[in-house]
Chains A and B, each alone.
Chain A
Amino acid sequence: MAGEEDNTKGPRKLDRRDMLMGLSTVPALGLFGYTWNKQRQHQQARAEAAAAPAAPADVQVINIALVGAGAQGQVLTDAMLRIPGLRFRAVCDIWTEYNQRRVVNTLKRYKHEPNAYEDYREMLDKEKELDAVLIATPDFWHERHTIDCLKAGKHVYCEKEMSNTLEGARNMVAAARETGKLLQIGHQRRSNPRYLHCYDKLLGEAKLLGRIVTVNGQWNRAVTPDLGAPDRYAIPAERLKKYGFKDMHQFRNWRWYKGLGGGPIVDLGSHQIDIYSWFLGANPSHVTASGGLLYYDPKNHEWYDTVMAVYDYETPQGPAKAYYQTQTTNGSQGYFENFMGDQGTLILSESELNYAGQLYRDPNAPAWDEWIQKGYISAPQVQEKPATGDSGAIADVRESVAPDRHTVPVALRDPYHQPHLQNFFDAVRGKAKLNCPSEVAYETAVAVLKVNEAIEAKTRLSFNAAEFKV
């Protein structure tokens, strides 16, 4: 082969063959570029199809801003990108180095052109066209952010917990009334079609459960390490201080700190205790609770990582008791709410994957045929076999007969927060009533924040009915 002879001596001239062989694999890179481009177009088309369809001409476009672009702000943004008729005008977050940039970049990919702000007051001064503001900041900022936005004439969707103090929550309700602007709080199950179906049809119309006497529910979450942040994205100390954080660790893990958040019972429990009161049609009369910081390092965790609470209710149908637990050291069995009446049981969860909405009819209850025919519930699955099978266990005569098992046939195929956001924007357009106005969320805040008080007081605390009103 050419070149064999002189290949041990110094540089030599390249011939045509060398050029051809040398460049022979370059076209592969071109082919890669071509297929990659095709792949990107495919992904983009899919993302756009999943995202908001073009708003029909008669839909009034709502100009919105997001305040708080952390994990929850991102969740809301992803859901809002699927709702037609919204225009993002601004994104505000004090973590300009990271979170703010991430959400702005996401929005730009969907052809929004939001302005970025660190200070929400500057945003309110400059963005005169805003119709509504979405607030997903740490709990201790909700009061200030919400009230200032309402007073600037904006409708507000504020994440739960509406405030870390009841005084703050009361001020928010008062500001909404005073300004006449809408204030929706982010208890998103209130707009979830499955929960609405259960409330309106199964409990309201069909009264499938009979009289609900006990409720239990939980949110079990596996051990989660603290959130960190690379040093090069750290927020300068003076900015952290200006916004009420002592350091980057506290900024990232504010949920664990007293005075900033409310701990797992508030972060997780408040969603579900909200459902207890909603479905029972009453606010609790008493609460007993035990909790503690059993597992996480008390140096940088202040709130209880484990809480178990029992509420007493005086419902329109009679007294009821409701147990709730949240723990953050084991995630098995996840989260659900379980309503147990004298005629049936309903296990419901936002996580349809784990709890597909099971219903059990007590063998002594009236037949549910009518509701199956109406499509309110599924036909029963085969009755569970008596426990005499392979296990060799023998059912004791005292055991109840296994009840029929049905499922709730309504599914949510959108992100969890989308229907609740849609409800808010429908209300902004004057086409709907808010599913969780601030007065309703205030009642939940009263019920939930009292748990932390009861743990501290080590005693059973009572509510008086006036407490739930602003």
Chain B
Amino acid sequence: MEDARLSRRALAAITVLRVVVGWHFLYEGIAKLTSPSWSAAGYLKQARGPFADLFRWLASQPNLLANADLITMWGLTLVGVFLMLGLFTRLASLAGIGLILLFYLCNPPLVGYFYSIPTEGSYLIVNKNLVELCALVVILVTGSGRFAGLDRLLHGVFARRPRLAAV
């Protein structure tokens, strides 16, 4: 992937975006990890849209569900930490996109669904999951960790690839 050349201000703004998205992931993960009885089952059972059957089936399989719970809790937590630190930023962004894509597909606010989950706002096609997913795409393609983040040190030491720098 060819790095975009961006102004320093643009890169700083993307760094802020990365940190707040990471913060959100981390807290979503930690809140689930520290809740004694959290499970994805409730969310999965509310599934709507074209993949609803698949998600409901997943909720009904105790073994798969236990794995889905673990992946969600730890996935969110680790993605959050890595995004905040700017470490393995691209990998973390990709993993985050994967997780959010699943959340989105489980409950997509498609045409004709007059309500969907989460229920705090009004959505048509685009909901906050999709917005966060797109934010992660921006973080992914700009390799923000190599501007301000531990990736910069990592790349400085190991990589032969160019560091991302402001023009």
Q: Are B160 and A105 in contact (CB under 8 A)?
A: no
List 28 A-B pairs, Cβ < 8 Å.
Answer: A1-B165, A7-B165, A9-B160, A11-B156, A11-B157, A11-B159, A12-B156, A18-B153, A19-B153, A21-B149, A21-B152, A22-B150, A22-B151, A22-B152, A22-B153, A22-B156, A23-B153, A25-B19, A25-B149, A28-B22, A29-B81, A32-B26, A36-B27, A106-B36, A225-B60, A229-B62, A230-B66, A231-B62
A381 contacts partner chain B, Cβ-Cβ < 8 Å: no
> Interface size class for chain B?
35 or more
Cβ-defined partner of A18 (8 Å) among B23, B30, B152, B162: B152
Residues on the B chain within 8 Å of A13, using CB: 156
1/0 contact string of A20-44 vs chain B (CB within 8 Å)? 0111111011001000100010000
CB of B15 within 8 Å of the partner chain: yes
| Assembly CA distance A24 to B63 (angstroms) | 41
B residues whose Cβ falls under 8 Å from a Cβ of A: 15, 18-19, 22-23, 26-27, 30, 34, 36-37, 60-63, 65-66, 81, 84-86, 147-153, 156-160, 162-163, 165-167
Total contacting residues, chain A, CB less than 8 A: 33
Contact B165 A28 (CB under 8 A): no
- Specify which of B23, B27, B81, B149 is in contact with A22 (CB 8 Å cutoff): B149
Tell me the A256-274 residues at the B interface (CB within 8 Å): none
Known: A18-B153, A21-B148. A4 touches B158 (CB 8 A): no
CA distance A305 to B61 in the complex (A): 23
> Which B residues are CB-close (under 8 A) to A316?
none
> Distance (Å) between the CB of B62 and the closest chain A CB?
3
A26 near B165: Cβ-Cβ < 8 Å: no
- Interface pair A230/B62, CB less than 8 Å apart: yes
A53 at the interface (CB under 8 A from B): no
Which residue in chain A gives the minimum CB-CB distance to B60? A225
**In whole Å, how far is B107's beta carbon from the nearest beta carbon of chain A?**
20
Identity of the chain B residue whose Cβ is nearest the Cβ of A13 in the assembled complex: B156
B96 CB, nearest partner CB in chain A, Å: 16
Known: A36-B27, A230-B62. 11 other contacts (CB 8 A): A7-B165, A22-B150, A22-B152, A24-B149, A25-B19, A25-B85, A29-B81, A32-B84, A102-B36, A105-B36, A232-B66
